[in-house]
């Protein structure tokens, strides 16, 4: 997914990630593009999980969502908004949390915390990539 989101034009981005389902589908595709491996037992077979685009290990029955172990894990804002913030920050790393707050109609602290999460991920990896570990 390296730099994928920042290459999309704003209208292409809006169309590609206009619903939580589209965002989850994208995350699942990126997360498991090299195949699924259960984080608890290492098994590679899975079936459909409880939530959309999640995977359930057929051996230990552990469920893993598409957002687990990503910067979107336990995100308190709608996934579409989180993707929008990520897109904006990746396109313009100097955007302020106040600008994000006005654009997204979210609390400034919410935008600041998520922007911080994104920039830490970028600094840690040295590249624009949203999937962790």
Whether residue 42 is contained in a domain is answered as no
pLDDT digits (tens, 9 = 90+) for 23-67: 999 999 999 999 999 999 999 999 999 999 999 999 999 999 999
- On whether the CB atoms of residues 95 and 104 are closer than 8 A, the answer is no
Whether residue 84 is contained in a domain is answered as yes
Q: Rounded to a whole number, what is the distance in angstroms from the first to the last CA of the chain?
A: 14
Whether residue 64 is contained in a domain is answered as no
Domain containing 84 equals 4-34+71-125
Whether residue 107 is contained in a domain is answered as yes
User: pTM of the entire structure?
Assistant: 0.82
């Amino acid at each position: 997914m390296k730099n994928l989101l920042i290459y999309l034009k704003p209208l292409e981005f809006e169309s590609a990630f206009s619903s939580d389902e589209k965002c989850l589908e994208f995350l699942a595709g990126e997360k498991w593009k090299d195949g699924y491996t259960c984080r608890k037992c290492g098994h590679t077979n899975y079936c459909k999980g409880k939530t959309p685009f999640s995977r359930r290990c057929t051996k230990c029955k552990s469920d893993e969502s598409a957002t687990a172990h990503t910067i979107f894990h336990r995100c308190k804002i709608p996934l579409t908004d989180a993707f929008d913030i990520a897109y904006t920050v990746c396109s313009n790393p100097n955007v302020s949390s106040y600008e994000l707050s006005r654009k997204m109609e979210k609390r400034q602290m919410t935008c600041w915390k998520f922007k911080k999460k994104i920039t830490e991920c970028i600094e840690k990896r040295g590249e624009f990539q949203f999937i962790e570990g």
